[in-house]
Structure 1
Amino acid sequence: MEHQSPLRDGEERRDCAVPEDARAAQRDGEPGVELLHLAGLVSEDERAGSEDSRQPRKRRAPRDSARPELKDEGIQTRNNKKRKKNRNRSGKRKMVVRPNYFVGIQVSNPEVHRAVRGLQEKIVAAQPELRSTVIPTATLHVTLAVAHLPDPAHVARAAEVMKESLSVNRDLYNNPPVCLMFSGVKTFKNQVLFADIEGGESLLRIAGLAQALEESFEESGLVLPSRKSFQPHLTILKLSKDFGLKRKGILKITPSLYSDDRSMHFGQQVVRSVQLLSMNKPKDANGYYYCSHQEIFDVAGEESGDHSGCCEKPSLGKQPPPGVGGRRHLHSLAAVEGERRPATRAEDVVRMLLLVGAVSIGVAFLLRSFSAAK
């Protein structure tokens, strides 16, 4: 006997008998919505909507393929940039070559040093966090070119290239001498603060020298990691000296720190030589870069050697922690000037625990030996 569920009040029983064509559709494996439609339980609109939902969804096109015209025009899109970043034409990852030497002109005039030092002190007094970005006055220079010289053979080759390149036009820098005038304060994207060099014949001669050196280096097979447009300058502050400033929220050099000194005059520097300098080797006794080679010009006159108001003053750079002199760091039990630092309470406790532990091990060993002898 077929079981039927009871009806509620006012509810009429609906004939749910499935017609033969619906049964045939079920045998043929058609979807369940078709069965309900044939049985009269689903309307035509509901059936159409169900069929649409069963259609396979189209996969979303990649962001780059959605705009093929950008590829045709050679424009870099976001995904394209990610794929091509740090890769060369063969698809292999590029090797990052960093410069370790540079050709520069030493800025040694005490007048320039004192002016730079005065501006640095003013900025650090206004924002002490920038102390670590200060360029020591003893290292002031103007960069002409940078290079990657991996071994002494490449350094010797670079020195020979400098000698040959400067021997051709040496008189151009001897008579009259090149004199660089530093005036005005500018920045590179508020990341590097520098003193600008006034334009004129001297600047043109230095630009020609820089171009001649770069071309000679390339012809000799020496690696020049970067070939940017030549813009000679005298660096005063550089944020990249201290990456920890980003964690402190210092992302740029605030213009208000130097706004009153934009037209500041720093002095002049007579170019007496061109040097091949190492970025990584220890500084010399005067705090200047290690010089691997130097081409000296025939320039008359002597430069003042009084650096009491600049280089001989205490460094403005990042100060060591209290009790630590220079690069020397103190360990917990190190001696300072022949005297032992008094031990702290924690160190006394550690010593006592070590002593008790040693005594306990000794006593346990003796007891074990005594028991074994019995």
Structure 2
Amino acid sequence: MREGKVANRRLFSLLISIPIHWSPPIFHYRYASRTSPATLPGPALPKSLNIALSYRSQPRLRTTLPSQSCIYSPSRHVTFHHTNTLTQVGEVVSVSGSIKKQEGGKKKKKKHSSKKTVEKMEAGDTSLRNLRPNYFVGIQISNEDIHKALIQIQEDMVSYDESLFRALVDVATSHITLLVVHVDTEEALSLATSALAKCGKQLMDDLSACPLQLTFSGISHFGHQVVYAQLVEDDHYHRLLDLAEYVRNVFGEGQVFMPDKRTLHPHLTIAKLSKAPRMRGKHAPRKIDPSSYKQHLDIHLGCQTVTGLQLLAMNKSKDHNRYYYNSAQVMFDIKCKDNMDHTQCCFPRRPILKSQRRT
């Protein structure tokens, strides 16, 4: 009994001797004990303890030690769970609403449904800017002549610099991207599928009667990081831009979240360095040398007839033809003359490194 009174007197003297700094509306109190445990409302505090408390409506105390945890409740009771003597307890964070326990100061990412995501972006919520696209609306490039031309360009690039092999895009996945979307729930996928079906219904008559012909000619790059085949900017090219704008408007009206608002620059990717990040023990160039494809700058690759639109998944496994997982598609009433036998260009996968070739 006497020891408890002594401890209380020591605690009172310490609190009086320590200045209180006014930082509205928070008071910071600092307590330290080295000789004996002190008594506060709730369980006894362990020895050698440094703690800072913040008083607001419902503050939350967050520990930086992974082996200990501490929560401060509105009733001003402090609860400690410890295995050894605590030497430091982390910062105090004031929050509104219910009190939640977080260890290590880490915050869990919040998941947003599709409609709420669109509403928040329209309201200017900046917390959703980092949502990455995981689906896209694309046009498949399946013309065999275009594939063969792409393979030839890639083989020459690898012959010039074998380290570019990891940056090459699989020719079997050749496509043109019209827009990218973020789909996080089954409801969002249903909205995206419905929007694609609406596009197909509205575009069916026009694109079936007058098919879209995309001609690829010439090679260019984006900042020496991406090498791509260019589209000839003819009447069909401008029809493609109008098509992409219409699809974007339909997806926007359908409450499908589109994180990328940049102007469309349709292209056919040949190689990109983002596929070959710099790794320990493996060399990857910082840029793609134009000399690796200079002999193909004016190459004519071929013409692709647009037979439909597809909703493709970026993160799901490829199909048996190594093409993107097709979640939904709309096909136009067009008889395509493309040769679907790709054994001379895509199967087996090319190019093949010299070290991988059988002698």
Q: Give the greater-gyration-radius structure (CA).
A: 1
Runs ≥4 in structure 1, deviation > 4 angstroms? 88-95, 317-322
Residues 181 and 258, structure 2, Cα contact 8 Å, conserved in 1: yes
Residues 136 and 317, structure 1, Cα contact 8 Å, conserved in 2: no
Question: What residue is the counterpart of 1:209 in the other structure?
Answer: 243
Question: What residue is the counterpart of 1:222 in the other structure?
Answer: 256
Partner Cα separation in structure 2 for residue 163 and residue 129 of structure 1: 42
The root-mean-square deviation of aligned C-alpha atoms, in Å, is 2.6
Partner Cα separation in structure 2 for residue 279 and residue 151 of structure 1: 15
Is 1:291 the equivalent of 2:326? yes
| Greater fraction helix | 1
Question: What residue is the counterpart of 1:244 in the other structure?
Answer: 278
Is 1:264 the equivalent of 2:327? no
- Report the CA distance shift for 1:319/1:136 in structure 2 as closer, same or farther (over 3 A): farther
Partner Cα separation in structure 2 for residue 112 and residue 245 of structure 1: 32
Question: What residue is the counterpart of 1:370 in the other structure?
Answer: none
- For the residue of structure 2 that corresponds to 1:218, the secondary structure is helix
Q: Which runs of 5+ in 1 are unaligned?
A: 1-87, 323-374
AA partner of residue 224 (structure 2): N
- For the residue of structure 1 that corresponds to 2:278, the secondary structure is helix
In the TM superposition, residue 249 of structure 1 has moved relative to its aligned partner by 6.4
Residues 194-225 of structure 1: per-residue CA shift (max 9 Å, x gap): 00000112111211111111111112221111
In the TM superposition, residue 108 of structure 1 has moved relative to its aligned partner by 0.7
- Report the CA distance shift for 1:140/1:92 in structure 2 as closer, same or farther (over 3 A): closer
Partner Cα separation in structure 2 for residue 136 and residue 206 of structure 1: 24
Question: What residue is the counterpart of 1:303 in the other structure?
Answer: 338
In the TM superposition, residue 170 of structure 1 has moved relative to its aligned partner by 2.0
TM-score w.r.t. length of structure 1 = 0.59
Matches within 5 A, 1:264-343: 264-316=299-351
Partner Cα separation in structure 2 for residue 233 and residue 90 of structure 1: 31
Question: What residue is the counterpart of 1:111 in the other structure?
Answer: 145
Residues 135 and 238, structure 1, Cα contact 8 Å, conserved in 2: yes
Q: Which runs of 5+ in 2 are unaligned?
A: 1-120
- Report the CA distance shift for 1:304/1:249 in structure 2 as closer, same or farther (over 3 A): closer
Matches within 5 A, 1:1-374: 95-244=129-278, 248=283, 250-316=285-351
Partner Cα separation in structure 2 for residue 238 and residue 150 of structure 1: 26
Partner Cα separation in structure 2 for residue 312 and residue 211 of structure 1: 35
- Report the CA distance shift for 1:160/1:248 in structure 2 as closer, same or farther (over 3 A): same
- Report the CA distance shift for 1:161/1:317 in structure 2 as closer, same or farther (over 3 A): farther
The farther-off stretch of 93-102 and 224-233 is: 93-102
- Report the CA distance shift for 1:200/1:228 in structure 2 as closer, same or farther (over 3 A): same
- Report the CA distance shift for 1:321/1:311 in structure 2 as closer, same or farther (over 3 A): closer
Give the aligned length. 235
AA partner of residue 251 (structure 1): R
Partner Cα separation in structure 2 for residue 314 and residue 228 of structure 1: 33
| Greater fraction strand | 2
In the TM superposition, residue 92 of structure 1 has moved relative to its aligned partner by 7.1
Residues 20-64 of structure 1: per-residue CA shift (max 9 Å, x gap): xxxxxxxxxxxxxxxxxxxxxxxxxxxxxxxxxxxxxxxxxxxxx
Residues 318-340 of structure 1: per-residue CA shift (max 9 Å, x gap): 99999xxxxxxxxxxxxxxxxxx
The farther-off stretch of 94-103 and 111-120 is: 94-103
Residues 265-297 of structure 1: per-residue CA shift (max 9 Å, x gap): 111111111000000111111110010111101
TM-score w.r.t. length of structure 2 = 0.61
In the TM superposition, residue 165 of structure 1 has moved relative to its aligned partner by 2.4
The farther-off stretch of 196-205 and 133-142 is: 196-205
Partner Cα separation in structure 2 for residue 237 and residue 291 of structure 1: 22
In the TM superposition, residue 113 of structure 1 has moved relative to its aligned partner by 0.5
In the TM superposition, residue 317 of structure 1 has moved relative to its aligned partner by 7.8
In the TM superposition, residue 172 of structure 1 has moved relative to its aligned partner by 1.8
In the TM superposition, residue 298 of structure 1 has moved relative to its aligned partner by 0.7
Partner Cα separation in structure 2 for residue 225 and residue 243 of structure 1: 24
Residues 305 and 336, structure 2, Cα contact 8 Å, conserved in 1: no
Residues 134 and 316, structure 1, Cα contact 8 Å, conserved in 2: no
Alignment identity in percent? 34
- For the residue of structure 1 that corresponds to 2:163, the secondary structure is helix
